[in-house]
Amino acid sequence: MKKTALLIILVLLGSQVPSAAQSAKKREDSSPPVAQIGDRTITDDELERLASNRLAKVKNEEYNIKRQVLEEYITRALIETEAAARGITPEELEKREIEQKVMPVTEEQKRAVYESNPQPYAGKSEAEAFALIEANLKRIRLADARRRLLASIRSKTSVKVLLEAPRVEIAAVDGATMGPKTAPVTIVEFSDFQCPYCARAQPILKDLMQRYDGKVRLVFRDFPLDMHAQAQKAAEAARCAGDQGKFWEMHDRLFTDQRALQVADLKRSASELGLDTAKFNTCVDSGRYAAALKADMDAGARLGVNATPTFFVNGRMITGAGSPQAFTEVIDQELARAGKMPTVTAGASR
């Protein structure tokens, strides 16, 4: 048990971890060469630095796997430590604090679930449906009990995760922004107005901006996909509306009704938003922002963006519409780093 405790301390608290400078020097000295140009040697570390942005998605997937495995290890270590302190086995601890504390599922509860949403159980008998509902509810309750136990143990145990998330640097841009410049967390969104997944992400983002009011800044960048014929002009329309101070109003309107993205629809939306339609129409028809959109797309491609939506939370990549939890976990981790400058910076509001 002493050996296990020592291992836990070393892994979780990072005892005797070499300094960053020592680690970097050691890597430079040991980095194998990957190419020779005359008398100049290109090392693997140098190649890693050059390709870091393009490898962002791969490194992010690697980090997520490592973080999941680390959390599993921490969980096992906490359970083992608590069980040892009580003089019982980990299995007995889980039985007492999880299994035995879960209330059984009643017939009334099963029926309430079944009657409120019968569609998932179409074609099944009532008994079969009730068995599935009972299993699902029990699984949820066991998971909740496990979380409560771990939260209780973790509250009295020093746990420090030293695993660093991969980040990319996003240079200052003249993007449409929401939230204060001083916010400790910046979310950069690469999006497409015709993308259904991008539309699904908008309520999540609105909720995040309210929940973390003053702590999060949102930067919108365009990434219209070739497969979406109306996405380019829709993005231009949002920027043209931004010229008159109504980028976000047009942004919300475009995502609310993605069936109305033809140029005629865009001009009608501008009129209904109270814009100067002559100026707006000239802006959209001229393709004034086509080059700016291409610049956003080129920047996104260099960062590893190849689908929408893609987000960078202080430089940490999140792909797809995601879930609120996917964002809150990262945001909470970044807020825990309070006092450190965020990786991502952005320009003036549009």
Residue 15: the pLDDT is 41
The mean pLDDT of 87-98, rounded to a whole number, is 95
Percent of the chain at pLDDT exceeding 90 = 69
| Whether the predicted pLDDT of 339 surpasses 60 | no
**For residue range 317-328, what is the model confidence (pLDDT) as tens digits?**
998 887 898 899
Q: How far is CA 92 from CA 100, 145, 151, 210, 256, in A?
A: 10, 15, 18, 43, 52
pLDDT digits (tens, 9 = 90+) for 11-41: 444 444 444 445 445 555 578 999 999 999 9
Asked whether the whole model's pTM tops 0.75, one would answer no
| 223-260 pLDDT per residue, tens | 999 999 999 999 999 999 999 999 999 999 999 999 99
Could you report the per-residue pLDDT of 158-199, keeping only the tens digit for each?
Answer: 888 888 888 888 865 667 999 998 999 999 999 999 999 999
Tell me the DSSP string of 24-71.
HHHHHHHPPEEEEETTEEEEHHHHHHHHTTTTHHHHHHHHHHHHHHHH
Residue 154 in this model has a pLDDT that exceeds 70: yes
Residue 304 pLDDT level (bands cut at 50, 70, 90): confident
Averaged pLDDT for residues 302-307: 88
What is the structure's pLDDT at 331?
Answer: 94
Do the beta carbons of residue 228 and residue 297 sit within 8 Å?
A: no
SS3 call for 216 = strand
SS3 166: coil
Fold (topology level) of 176-335:
Glutaredoxin (3.40.30)
Average pLDDT, the chain: 87
Contacts for 316-321 with beta carbons within 8 Å, 24 or more apart? 316/60, 316/165, 316/166, 316/167, 317/56, 317/57, 317/60, 317/166, 317/168, 319/57, 319/60, 320/197, 321/197, 321/198, 321/200, 321/201, 321/204
User: Do residues 177 and 213 lie in contact, with contact meaning Cβ atoms separated by under 8 Å?
Assistant: no
Give CA–CA dist 211/162, Å, rounded. Answer: 27
The helix or strand, by DSSP H or E, that contains position 206, with its residue range, turns out to be helix 196-211
C-alpha 118/C-alpha 126 separation (Å) is 10
Higher pLDDT, 11 or 112: 112
Mean pLDDT (whole number) for 48-75:
86
Residue 16: predicted pLDDT: 45
| DSSP-derived 3-state class of residue 210 | helix
Which residue in 318, 304, 314, 321 sits closest to 346, CA to CA?
Answer: 314
Domain ranges of the chain: 74-155, 176-335
